[in-house]
Chains A and B, each alone.
Chain A
């Protein structure tokens, strides 16, 4: 078992290979998957979005913001997972929301942003890494303009990897009581331990896995 080195300061690489297991922390529990397929998302124009245009406005106001909104190019279907890094191409700041109500890169008293200088001290943008898993679990992006003048563009560039995942259903048929009948209580306990991310239980019923702090919700 290992913890993915997704935040190491280097180029983004696969967090797991095909047929590897990953354990993903999302909505305050761990879910376990096997990677069925993975491919890169190279930095390119289709992975670029102008939030000003997306919002249907002409400018982002001086010292203003564009409210958080869904970014269609990052929408996926169930069974898909994106591991993405990003940066603004214009002098604006990006604020990431997991779905529309939960901040990403935040804590009790702050909500960090990604700006044009992020890449100066973090050249591989490791600190901008985030994940999107499945249908209707979309990322929302809010934009802030720190300039005292309105800007006509607020472009963001994304890049990363796309994964196709199969959910792992551990075989608990061997969990039986003294009479050889299914031990429902113990099976439920195992399922609960798997969701809690208990390392010994995961090791026994899932096998080697890579732990991903994919959402942190």
Chain B
């Protein structure tokens, strides 16, 4: 992702608020999100009238085996529940991993409010281990909001 996208052309603003954690994102505001066994855990929600780019992702877990992290946004349709925005990331156990801005494609998280087709634009993550959605993966995200 181009540095210019967040720092130049769009005059991006780094914001780390709006993170959620716990089951179904019940806890609001902490710097990290801990995945739940439900999946589609909210990481960053777009404020009214804005969009954003993800500029950094880091993760850690101590589960027995590699965890696959799928980042995307919630679909307005029941199926599929998630609109995937990045390729699946592999989180190795007991090892901090992550992606910085230059590693990530410049995907703009933007609201598409078409019913049953669009998406809500919020960044969510689902963690799976051997095909099962798992809790306990810590994920921290940094984004550049466009406004």
The residues of A with any CB-CB pair to B shorter than 8 Å are 63, 91, 115-117, 120-121, 146-152
Contacts and interface: CB of A to CB of B under 8 A. Distances in A.
Contacts of A151: 17
B29 A149 contact: yes
A63 B17 contact: no
Given A91-B17, A120-B13, A121-B11, A147 B147 contact: no
Contact of B11 (A63, A120, A146, A147): A120
Given A91-B17, A115-B147, A117-B147, A149 B11 contact: no
B11 A91 contact: no
A151 to B, nearest CB: 7
B13 A116 contact: yes
| B interface residue count range (under 10 / 10 to 19 / 20 to 34 / 35 or more) | 10 to 19
Given A149-B18, A152-B29, 9 more contacts: A115-B147, A120-B11, A146-B48, A147-B47, A147-B48, A148-B45, A148-B46, A149-B17, A149-B45
A121 B11 CA distance: 8
A155 B13 CA distance: 17
Contacts of A152: 29
Contacts of B20: 149
B80 interface: no
Given A91-B17, A151-B17, A146 B50 contact: yes
A152 B18 CA distance: 12
A115 B11 CA distance: 14
Interface string B44-79: 011111100000000000000000000000000000
Nearest to B48: A146
Contact of A146 (B13, B28, B29, B47): B47
10 contacts: A91-B17, A91-B47, A117-B147, A147-B18, A147-B45, A148-B45, A149-B18, A149-B20, A149-B45, A152-B29
Nearest to B120: A148
Contacts of B46: 148
Nearest to B49: A146
B15 interface: yes
B48 to A, nearest CB: 5
A91 B20 CA distance: 17
B45 A150 contact: no
Nearest to B29: A149
Interface string B18-47: 101000000011000000000000000111
A164 to B, nearest CB: 38
Contact of B48 (A63, A116, A121, A150): A63
B19 to A, nearest CB: 9
A120 B13 CA distance: 9
A53 B73 CA distance: 35
A117 B17 CA distance: 15
A117 B47 contact: no
A82 B13 CA distance: 30
B28 A150 contact: yes
